[in-house]
């Protein structure tokens, strides 16, 4: 069977599109007609991909497959396999209930590859934007050991934990970020609309204004008269920073800087340790070789300095040394973590010890995020209040002294 992308209109007059497999385009058209869909366009998958590549599909950025979608789908596949359903039939059943178009397309192509005799991991590897290296390697380990359904269940749990951890951090910081944006927007409106109208009354008085009022008027003039220049500087600075951080040296310097930021650096280390411990534990428990597992784990830390430390530990393991020693010598990982890893290596229970580390640091991340949130909110309110109060003071003081201006 071939995979086709189609567009059409259903019986309600609404436009529909999707991806289905059929023997040929005529068979697909007949099948859709029976379902009440009037087909307007049918393209084979390869031809559709070429057409998509020629077009700018902005909506595609809003259809990205989330970790939650992958976790749910993985768990459903594990349940189907655990029930004794053959892999190809399980994939077919999964495809029928998928609604996310990108994920449906990926699993449809995967099912066809598996049906041709290709291993599931190799078929998934052809979709790197959806299935990570970690995902593919765990599936490969599950196929090799004959415990694919068990590995898929463990993988779904891992993805859930990672999505939950990310959601906690981003959710806790969303409100402070919103307050900063709102405060910045209010200040821009005050400087470009309110301040010019109020300070215009001072122009008719031949009297020296306080220095802080002059500073406010100057800032307002810059905002209103040179906003385009400020915008260009901001955009240029943003693009310049993006280019700099895209270089190897720039990325290294930035990652080192983030590990020194007061308050936030400890949170970043906690999140990285939790990811490291849970990922390595999951991979080792799934039968992935330790060197491969450490190479995969290194890539999800998101900080080049911590990645360097893990790479040094991986090199040490290749030479027959322990994982804990280079981690301890780097002083980037907390001592309690390296001690627990060392105990796990000596006792032969490294996977369980890493899981304990991940659970403990997940709890610490929760407490740290709550503490930072409770600190940031009043701090932002004080800063915003101070800025608004400074503007009001610079305007009101000359008004209170207006009698002196008139004399």
* Listed residues 160, 185, 214: the one ending a domain: 160
Same domain, 100 and 182: no
How far apart are alpha carbons 348 and 340 in whole angstroms?
12
With contact defined as beta carbons under 8 Å apart, do 159 and 71 qualify? yes
Closest residue by Cα to residue 152 from 80, 240, 248, 65:
80
Look at residue 347 and tell me if it is in a domain.
yes
Which DSSP helix (H) or strand (E) runs through 202?
A: none
Evaluated on CA atoms 110, 116, 122, 125, the torsion sign reads negative
Closest residue by Cα to residue 176 from 371, 401, 308:
371
With contact defined as beta carbons under 8 Å apart, do 131 and 124 qualify? yes
Closest residue by Cα to residue 176 from 384, 362, 367:
384
Look at residue 108 and tell me if it is in a domain.
yes
Q: Kindly compute the dihedral angle of the four CA atoms of residues 206, 207, 213, 219, in this order, to the nearest 10 degrees.
A: 30
Distance of CA 29 to the CA centre of its chain: 39
Interval 311-319 mean pLDDT: 89
Number of domains in the chain: 3
Lowest mean pLDDT among 51-55, 142-146, 270-274, 375-379: 51-55
Same domain, 280 and 382: yes
- Per-residue pLDDT of 323-370, as tens digits, reads 888 888 888 888 888 999 999 988 888 888 998 998 888 888 888 877
Same domain, 83 and 28: no
Q: What is the percent of the chain where pLDDT is above 90?
A: 3
Which DSSP helix (H) or strand (E) runs through 273?
A: helix 264-285
Distance of CA 85 to the CA centre of its chain: 34
Domain with 13, as residue range(s), is: 2-55
Q: How many CB atoms lie within 10 A of CB 28?
A: 21
Same domain, 88 and 199: no
Contacts of 268 (CB under 8 A, 6+ apart): 258, 259, 261, 303
Look at residue 50 and tell me if it is in a domain.
yes
Look at residue 400 and tell me if it is in a domain.
yes
Q: How is 74-114 classified by DSSP, letter by letter?
A: HHHHHHHHHTT--HHHHHHHHHHH---HHHHHHHHHHHHHH
- Per-residue pLDDT of 197-229, as tens digits, reads 777 777 666 667 778 878 888 888 888 888 888
* Listed residues 128, 160, 192: the one ending a domain: 160
pTM: 0.65
Same domain, 232 and 101: no
Q: How confident is the model at residue 46, as a pLDDT? A: 53
Same domain, 231 and 190: yes
Same domain, 13 and 85: no
């Amino acid at each position: 069977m071939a995979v086709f992308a189609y567009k059409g209109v259903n019986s309600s007059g609404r436009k529909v599109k999707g991806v289905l497999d059929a023997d040929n385009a005529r068979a697909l058209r007949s099948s859709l007609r029976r379902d009440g869909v009037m087909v307007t366009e049918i393209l084979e998958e390869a031809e559709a991909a070429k057409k998509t590549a020629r077009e700018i599909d902005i909506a595609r950025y809003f259809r990205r497959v989330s970790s939650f979608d992958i976790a749910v789908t993985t768990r459903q596949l594990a349940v189907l396999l655990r029930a004794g359903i053959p892999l190809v039939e399980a994939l077919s059943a999964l495809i029928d209930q998928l609604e996310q178009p990108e994920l449906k397309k990926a699993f449809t192509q995967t099912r066809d590859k598996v049906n041709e005799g290709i291993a599931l991991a190799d078929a998934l590897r052809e979709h790197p934007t959806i299935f990570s290296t970690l995902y593919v390697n765990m599936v490969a380990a599950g196929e090799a050991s004959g415990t694919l359904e068990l590995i898929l269940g463990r993988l779904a749990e891992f993805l859930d934990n990672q999505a939950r951890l990310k959601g906690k951090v981003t959710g806790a910081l969303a409100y402070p970020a919103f307050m900063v944006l709102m405060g910045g927007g209010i200040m821009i409106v005050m400087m470009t609309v309110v301040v010019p109208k109020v300070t215009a009354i001072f122009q008719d008085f031949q009297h020296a204004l306080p220095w802080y009022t002059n500073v406010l008027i100057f800032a307002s003039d810059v905002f209103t008269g040179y906003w385009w220049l400020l915008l260009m500087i901001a955009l240029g600075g943003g693009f310049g920073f993006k280019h700099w951080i895209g270089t190897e040296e720039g990325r290294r310097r930035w990652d080192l800087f983030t590990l020194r930021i007061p308050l936030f650096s400890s949170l970043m280390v906690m999140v990285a340790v939790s990811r490291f411990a849970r990922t390595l534990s999951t991979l080792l428990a799934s039968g992935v070789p330790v060197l491969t597992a450490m190479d995969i784990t290194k890539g999800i830390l998101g900080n080049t300095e911590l990645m360097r430390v893990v790479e040094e530990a991986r090199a040490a393991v290749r030479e027959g040394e322990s994982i804990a020693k280079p981690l301890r010598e780097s002083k980037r990982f907390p001592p309690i973590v390296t001690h627990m890893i060392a105990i796990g290596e000596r006792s032969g229970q490294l996977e369980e010890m890493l899981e304990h580390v991940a659970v403990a640091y997940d709890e610490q991340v929760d407490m740290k995020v709550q503490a930072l949130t409770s600190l940031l909110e009043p701090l932002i309110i004080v800063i915003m209040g101070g800025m608004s109060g400074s503007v009001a003071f610079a305007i009101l003081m000359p008004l209170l002294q207006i009698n002196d201006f008139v004399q």
